[in-house]
Amino acid sequence: MAMTDKRHRPPARGAARRAAPAGRRRASATRPRLLPWAMIAPAVLALLLVQGYPLVRLLVLATQAFGPRSLFTGQADFVGVDNFTAIFTDPDFRAVLLRTVVFTALCVALLMVLGFLLSHLLIGVSPWARLLTTVCLVLVWAMPMVAATLVWQWMYQPQYGVANWLLTEVRVFGDLTAYDWFSHPVPALGLIVLLTVWKGLPFVALTLFAARGQIPESLYEAARLDGAGTLQTFRHLTVPILRPVLAILTVLEVVWSVNSFTPIWVLTQGGPDGATTTLGVYAYVTAFSRNDYGSGAAVAVVTVLILAVFATAYVRRTATRAERGDAA
């Protein structure tokens, strides 16, 4: 009887006290995991409202035959993927896509190279020269794109353009007084690239200058003591440390270059004969010049998908290389 009573005796108070907080510990363990989501929930909700709805509405519009009649009636027939099929079978779209890739590659390459050189210059010059250069860069960056484009248009205007007069006075390229830069495809696209690079260079240069200033000089001193030259230091020290910043800048500049509209439209309106038309201009012309809003929306959707795929692949590749470098 004594053995039976001992076997069926209820647990002691200490054991019950130890078992009771287990549920509370599990609940408290889930709170830290939910706290970050709760903190970013307002921002996510705002993004869904501000950006999510327009994207959904754009996708719906891309599947409709939305024309001038639909603007008054508010009704449009559902056509599925017909708009996408139309733009993919359009020879102009393939030419525009290739031109956009070339334009974006030129802009991003020039921006990153010149931005690196300019940021290195800002580090090496005296404080007053650095201040003067920074002020000039900020003024260029702060200038509205329309105003900057008009200035470039006046600079390269035939007969009265200061660039034509200056190149004529140099007497290397001949008489360019009456030369119309925007009537020839290659010079027109080249000027648009230069304008885009000139306008976007301050952001890249100042960002790289700020990031470069966070690298301790002791690392460079140690590299020089080990016998590393300028190129070796740049390749094995500066670039690996600045890789996250370079990835963000590259993605941003690619997105901004692909969506570039104002300089192209103000200078050439996509001409001559569509030779400077990129995806942004092509979507605008398709929607508002041809009054085919469904196809214009389809071009915009394709542009968003291309940029999303590029950004995701590039960032994942950069993160993978960074992890391998950290592991090494």
Cβ(287)–Cβ(71) below 8 Å: no
Tokens found for residue 15: 């054991």
Contact 67, 291 (CB under 8 A): yes
Asked if residues 211 and 123 have their Cβ atoms less than 8 Å apart, the reply is no
* Separate counts of helices (H) and strands (E) for the chain: 17, 2
CA distance 5 to 164: 109
pLDDT per residue over 73-112, tens digit each? 878 888 889 999 999 998 899 999 999 999 999 999 999 9
Residue 23 has pLDDT above 70, yes or no: no
- Comparing 5-19, 37-51, 146-160, the range with the smallest average pLDDT is 5-19
Task: Count the neighbouring beta carbons within 10 Å of the beta carbon of residue 207.
Answer: 18
Region of 80 on the Ramachandran plot (φ > 0 left; ψ -120 to 50 alpha; else beta): left
Task: Write out pLDDT tens, residues 221-253.
Answer: 888 888 887 788 888 888 888 888 999 999 999
Q: Mark 69-87 as b/e (b = at least 16 C-beta within 10 Å).
A: ebeeeeebeebeeebbebb
Does residue 36 have a cis bond before it (omega within 30 degrees)?
Answer: no
How far is Cα 265 from Cα 277, in angstroms, rounded to an integer? 9
Task: Give this prediction's pTM.
Answer: 0.83
Q: Is residue 130 scored above 70 in pLDDT?
A: yes
Closest CA to 203 of 102, 100, 134, 103: 134
C-alpha–C-alpha distance, residues 303 and 305, integer Å: 5
What is the SS3 assignment for 173-228? Answer: CCCCCCCCHHHCHHHHHHHHHHHHHHHHHHHHHHHHHHHHCCCCHHHHHHHHHCCC
Indicate if the pLDDT at residue 117 is higher than 50: yes
Q: What is the DSSP letter of 11?
A: P
Per-residue pLDDT reduced to its tens digit, 196-228: 999 999 999 999 999 988 888 888 888 888 888
Q: What is d(CA 98, CA 95) in angstroms, rounded to the nearest whole number?
A: 5
Cβ 137 vs Cβ 206: under 8 Å = yes
For residues 189 and 278, the answer to whether their CB atoms sit within 8 Å is: no
Show the tokens assigned to 300: 């915009």
CB 159 within 8 A of CB 227: no
> CA 293 to CA 288: how far, in whole Å?
7
Delineate the domains of the chain, giving CATH numbers in brackets. 70-327 (1.10.3720.10)
> Over 70: is that where the pLDDT of 6 sits?
no
